[in-house]
Each structure stands twice: as C-alpha cells, then as structure tokens.
Structure 1
C-alpha cells in the first residue's frame, strides 16, 4: 500500500483530496480508494494491492459491477492515509 500511496503523492492533488481506507470484506482486509472526480472509478484492492473491483464511480456511477455488495458488506472502517497537501 505504501507504493500506491507514494504514486498518489506523485500526482497533482486530487479534487477531492485522496484518501485510503481499510475495511474487512468477505473476511479479509481490503483497501478502498474513493473516486476522485467525475467519471473516474474508485478502486478496491486486496491485502497484496491487487485490484479487486471498482465499487463505485465511473461513467455509470456504480463502478464495474464486480463487487456490488461492498458497501453493504464491509466493516471495520479505518482511515489509513489522507492527502493533506494544499
């Protein structure tokens, strides 16, 4: 996850600023990066930082449809990192 965060830091500041959350989902720790703007989808990654799905965002606003139960099934939210650059 550190490499992913460092990659975000190399980008211009997102609007809204980037955040990374961890959750328990289907018995495993996952990392969620909310959509950053307009038609850009969110990203859900497993503990190895492999992309699982895009729960929301994108052109339809509903992600890629590969994990439609994420928002109702997730638990144990923790804010892992927030981009505080101005």
Structure 2
C-alpha cells in the first residue's frame, strides 16, 4: 500500500509541477518599456534573422539596440528610458537614418539582453 501512495504522490507532484510552470517567456528584471518591447516582439511572427536586443555603452550612456528584422527594415537604438535615439543601420541604404552613423565604431560593453528563440 505504501508503494501505491508514493506513486500517487509522485504522479500528483509531477502534474502539479507541469501545471504551475509559467508559459510566459522570462524577460528578466528590465525597465517596463523594455519588458513591453520584448512582449510586443513575442506577439509578432518570428523574424528572419531572429530579433535580438543588446545593451551597449555609446557616447557615455547606456543604450539598447534592437537588431534589424530583415532587409530594408532598420534597426533601432534606444536610451535607457526607452526613447528612440536613431536607426543605426538597415533601411533602403543599409545605413539607417544617419543620426548615429558612428554607433558601430563607438559602442562598447556588448551584452545580449534578449533573443527570440522561436522557430520561423
């Protein structure tokens, strides 16, 4: 009888663990605007190449770089408050909007913050 009870509790525990597992993606302890951006990207179809967000230091400030989704779509660079600073690259010319042409050369302290790991 003890084996049956042990098995029953084991099965119940496994089902409980599966039921309690969060289905939301972990987005970390980020600023609300960044969490919102990640959730927005997760609601869209997966990009090719996959969307990524990096944190850098650029012009002595913390910035966040959202990679280009494809081809003519420009990347986006945000300050730590979520204000868009520029589009460093991509677009029709591949050079972004021209407002931060030195971003690739001056950025430092690269940290991958988030990557869309969904299959296309």
After TM superposition, where is structure 1 displaced by more than 4 Å over at least 4 residues in a row?
Answer: none
User: Which has the greater radius of gyration?
Assistant: 2
Q: Aligned residue for 1:50?
A: 83
Count of residues in correspondence between the two structures: 86
Q: Structure 1 or 2: larger helix share?
A: 2
Match of 1:26 among 28, 47, 59: 59
Give the TM-score, by structure 1 length.
0.97
Q: How far, CA to CA, are the matches of 1:77 and 1:26 in structure 2?
A: 14
Residue aligned with 1:85, SS: coil
Give the TM-score, by structure 2 length.
0.70
Q: Structure 1 or 2: larger strand share?
A: 1
- CA deviation after TM superposition for structure 1 residue 36, in Å: 1.1
Residue aligned with 2:71, SS: coil
Q: Aligned residue for 1:73?
A: 106
Supply the RMSD in Å over aligned alpha carbons.
0.6
Q: How far, CA to CA, are the matches of 2:67 and 2:93 in structure 1?
A: 15
